Structure 1
Amino acid sequence: MADQNEPVTFAELMRRGTLEIGDGYRAKNSELGGGGLVFMRAGRLTQTGWDWDGAERFHVELTAKVKSKIAKPRDTVITTKGNSTGRSGYVPESAHGFVYSPHLSYWRSLKPGELDARYLRYWALGPEFRLQLKAMAHGTDMAPYLSLSDQKRIEIVLPDVERQRAIAEVLGALDDKIATNGRIAAAALDLADIHFFRAAQGLELGPDTFGSTATVVGGGTPSTKTEEYWGGGIAWTTPTDVTALSAPYMFETGRTITVTGLENCASRLYPAQSIFMTSRATIGAFALPQMPAAVNQGFIVVLPPTEELRWWLLHEMRSRVDEMISLANGSTFLELSRKNFKAMPIRLAADQVIAAFAQTVSPLHGRAAQAMGESRTLSTLRDTLLPELMSGRLRIRDAEKIVEGAV
């Protein structure tokens, strides 16, 4: 084996039988629509993990045909085309059976005694891979693309496998806690939805509408040609910020604007806990900003008149997404207009029922938001420790102490 401080190419690891790389199956429309294995398109590998909701499935009788492209636990997965090229994921032991699409590549350790699978997954998040990815995927004027031939040229430095495992265990402890927090948030939100279903059961749509019950507003975009509008201290929300969330609690946005930018924008600065709902393309993704924030034109913003109505309206909106989609129109992409949304009749219970509902679900949302906020902190810590551990600048023992204090 080569010196452990010297890089080795993926091609060499493949030659040794240590690593397998491959891509996905090019499915035909006629092969989908069944009840068999899930067909996992690249777009379903998000920043927060795999999106299973509504995924297409193969016909059961095709299982043998797609067998070679079925994901295996502990695979590292990379998107290979478009602006998301290089986004990585990991197949956990508990994953459902699914088939990779052509724009996903997998890296699979065949010799755990030489290449730890979890170490490979974390390496894919680090700067060593990122620098090579940038050179390969963006080497032409074409859309970013990472071919299998490119991947064979990737170089990786492999420390001894005991150190690989130790690094993976340190970083894995943070990811395990993040996953636990995700389950806590999901359970709390599901329970809140159940409470709403019970409270709203039997209620009819009445004369009240979203527009008559709350203030319904929208947003806009300051001129992107004016530099002084951008990069300030005001959170500015786009639908991408919201669709990337695994739970509807937003702590930051990808872009910010200045006070001057806000003054020259159709959006106001909305208070924390306003109800943000995407209204273009993806209709019905929700966020409760945990700080004041502005929005672009892809949102409907609901400002409830009371704290009690905030939770009732949020869950009423979440339960009516399919109906909202049916009211949307547009030739390029679907859009739900504020006019149509405001005119939608809603179910309203008696004041005391709404107040009791808020008293029940407010702590659930609070616990979910707390869990997701903690996960954000842990993610930042993981991303800070990762390059230090990979480079050897940080000792395993010191990293373990840091993680113990965090989890």
Structure 2
Amino acid sequence: MGDVVTLQRGTTYKGGLLGQPGPVLLGLASIQRNGGFRDDSLKTYGGESPEKLTLRPGDIYVSLKDVTQSADLLGAIARVPPHVHAGRVTQDTVKLSFTRKDVPSCYIYWLLRTPSYREYCRAHAIGTTNLSLARQDFLAFPVPRPKDQELIIVKTLDTLDDKIELNRRMNATLEAMARALFQSWFVDFDPVRAKLDGCKPAGLDAATSALFPAHFQDSSLGHIPQGWEVCPLADKIELLSGGTPKTGEPDYWDGDIPWFSVKDAPTETDVWVIHTEKSVTELGISNSAAQIFPEKTTIITARGTVGKLALTGTPMAMNQSCYGVRGIPGYGNYFTYYTLRAATAQLKQHTHGTVFDTITRQTFETLNCIFAPPKLTAAFDLTVEPLLEQIRANLQQSRTLATIRDALLPKLLSGELSVAKNSKLREGIVQ
């Protein structure tokens, strides 16, 4: 590797300048476990960012540290995507600069995503609590000179990645549309304001428009649409608890039932959780407090990392650090999800405890929200359902593509896949 790249380690940054205009910080939080870019927690930085620390779309950087014992981030690589116009490496990440034109950066990127490289990083880990990978060990990783076969595999991997990224961007657009509709109807009351001004609500058919009143009324939360109500969030939802089967019982684990923990929480734009890191068996469910929730149940994390939300894309169980939430009859799954999402900031303000922030049942009882009549919330669910179902379909497709990608990665070193099969696979992905 040392014959192909040079390394530029990032530097520390000033916390007071986070969130100010500037490049995004590309530290450990911007890298997925075992490699890949992660953009669900990016923060901009308004401080100094010299060119040697700056990354542009297509640039590559790695983590030579890890704060977990799994070493999933140790040596993990990421590539700056097109939508991140500028980034800055931190003290935990290293920028790669390429010195040879006969070894493309895309080849190195995928080489450092292979299982062989991941095993190499774990074998060379230094430390017990905080792991590190020495620069000389990283630079000593062998890099076979790519042949035509390997470069064709790289093109296929890039095609898979491009399709996954396209799905991610599409999901962001679809989710923004659903969120904007909730904001317009149930927070800003745009249709009611339009009627009050003697105008026809924009974008609504006659039947949906008729569900909105033309006047406001006073409430404990200020002016709200006439006929709507203010009540505790707990009055409109059913709270469900989770549990954890005994970890020392192998018959309770690795079954067919997904088991959700905060690690499985999706990004806000992905909404759904369709796969979990761990799974349990029916025996594990029957011998613990865990229970199986139907699809389209909202999960909210209540301890540790508070306020992460997910819609279950398939029946699943969850641990005791979460609540499952379903609307009472008349209040649908999507309305319930977005109501909780809009209330998340308030929920965090109502957390209890000194060691960990927590959300308790009392939190839901003390948080007052504005609720429209069931006919209107049902109309919302019908309107956003196609958007959210497309998000779920995109996630399922991306998971399938990622499975193909992960199966293809080892062949980058073995050369098992023929050129003809590789080209046919790539054409199928494009179609």
- Give the TM interval when normalised to the shorter protein: 0.7 to 0.9
Please tell me whether residue 365 in structure 1 is matched to residue 381 in structure 2: no
1:21 deviates by 2.0
Partners of 1:31 and 1:303 lie apart in 2 by 40
Could you tell me which residue of structure 2 aligns to residue 225 of structure 1? 248
TM-score, normalised with respect to structure 1: 0.87
| 1:402 and 2:419 correspond | no
What displacement does 1:209 show?
2.8
Q: Secondary structure at the match of 2:385?
A: helix
Quick one: structure 1 residues 141 and 195, their matched pair in 2 at CA, closer, same or farther if it must change by over 3 Å?
A: closer
CA distance in 2, matches of 1:81, 1:53: 19
**Deviations 1:13-57, CA, capped at 9 Å, x for gaps:** 1xxxx4222321122446656433333331232356332646151
2:330 and 2:375 in contact (8 A); partners too: no
Moved more, 39-48 or 221-230: 39-48
Aligned mate of 1:378, from 401, 404, 409: 401
Aligned AA for 1:57? Y
AA paired with 2:256?
A: G
Aligned positions, number: 386
Distance 2:414 2:330 in 1: 49
- Superposition deviation, residue 396 in structure 1: 2.8
Counterpart secondary structure, 2:55: coil
Which residue of structure 2 lines up, in the alignment, with residue 156 of structure 1?
A: 143
State the secondary structure of the residue aligned to 1:267.
coil
The one-letter code sitting in structure 1 at the alignment partner of 2:336 is L
Tell me, yes or no, if structure 1 residue 123 matches structure 2 residue 107: no
Q: Per-residue deviation at 1:405?
A: 2.4
Give the drift of 1:383.
0.9
For the structure 1 residues 227 and 164, does the alpha-carbon distance in structure 2 shift closer, same or farther, using more than 3 Å as the test?
Answer: closer
Matched-pair contact (CA < 8 Å) for 2:30–2:41: no
- In structure 2, what is the equivalent of residue 393 of structure 1? 416
- The alignment partner of 1:280 has SS state of coil
Aligned counterpart for 1:75 among listed residues 40, 59, 70: 59
- Residues 41-120 of structure 1: pairs in structure 2 closer than 5 A: 41-47=27-33, 49-51=37-39, 53=41, 55-59=43-47, 62-63=48-49, 66-82=50-66, 83=68, 84-111=73-100, 113-120=101-108
Aligned-residue offset at 1:266: 2.2
Shift in alpha-carbon separation, 1:255–1:307, aligned structure 2, 3 A = farther
* Distance verdict in 2 for CA 1:213–1:368, change over 3 Å: same
Conserved in 2, the CA contact under 8 Å of 1:46 and 1:244?
A: no
Instruction: Tell me the distance in 2 between the aligned counterparts of 1:157 and 1:246.
Output: 39
TM-score, normalised via structure 2 length: 0.83
In structure 1, what is the equivalent of residue 352 of structure 2?
Answer: 329
Do the aligned partners of residues 44 and 406 (structure 1) sit closer, same or farther apart at CA in structure 2, a change above 3 Å counting? closer
Cα offset, 1:329, TM superposition: 3.0
- The alignment yields a C-alpha RMSD, in angstroms, of 2.4
Match of 1:314 in 2: 337
Residues 304-363 of structure 1: per-residue CA shift (max 9 Å, x gap):
234852111111111121111111133233111122124322221123221211111011
CA distance in 2, matches of 1:36, 1:100: 13
**CA distance in structure 1 between the partners assigned to 2:304 and 2:129 by the alignment:** 26
- What's the secondary structure of 2:301's corresponding residue? strand
Aligned to 2:306: 283
The offset of 1:94, in angstroms, is 4.0
Q: Distance in 2 between matches of 1:183 and 1:308?
A: 29
- AA aligned to 1:72 is R
Question: 2:271–2:309: 8 Å Cα contact kept in structure 1?
Answer: yes
Contact (CA 8 Å) 1:324, 1:336: kept in 2 or not?
A: yes
Aligned to 1:269: 292
Which residue of the other structure, out of 107, 118, 136, is the alignment partner of 2:124? 136
Which of 341, 345, 361 is the matching residue for 2:364? 341
Amino acid at match of 1:130: R
Q: Which of these residues, 181, 199, 213, is aligned with residue 185 of structure 2?
A: 199
Tell which deviates more after alignment, 23-32 or 114-123. Answer: 23-32
Q: Structure 1 unaligned runs (5+)?
A: 1-9
Q: Deviations over 1:274-311 (max 9, x none)?
A: 11111223222221122211111221210223485211
Cα offsets for 1:142-167 (capped at 9, x unmatched): 5321121221221121223x545422
CA shift in 2, pair 1:359/1:87, >3 Å: same
- Gaps in structure 2 of 5+ consecutive residues: 190-223
Give the SS at the match of 1:247: coil
Matched-pair contact (CA < 8 Å) for 1:262–1:268? yes
Residue 164 of structure 2 corresponds to residue 170 of structure 1: no
For residue 422 of structure 2, give the secondary structure of its aligned residue in structure 1. Answer: helix
| Mapped contact 2:25–2:42 kept (Cα < 8 A) | no
Q: 1:366 to 1:33 in 2, by over 3 A?
A: closer
> Matches of 1:54 and 1:323 in 2, distance apart?
22
- Report Cα offsets for 1:346-395 as digits up to 9, x if no partner: 22112322121111101111111111111110110111112124321102
Matching residue within 214, 217, 225 for 2:237: 214
Report the equivalent of 1:182: 168
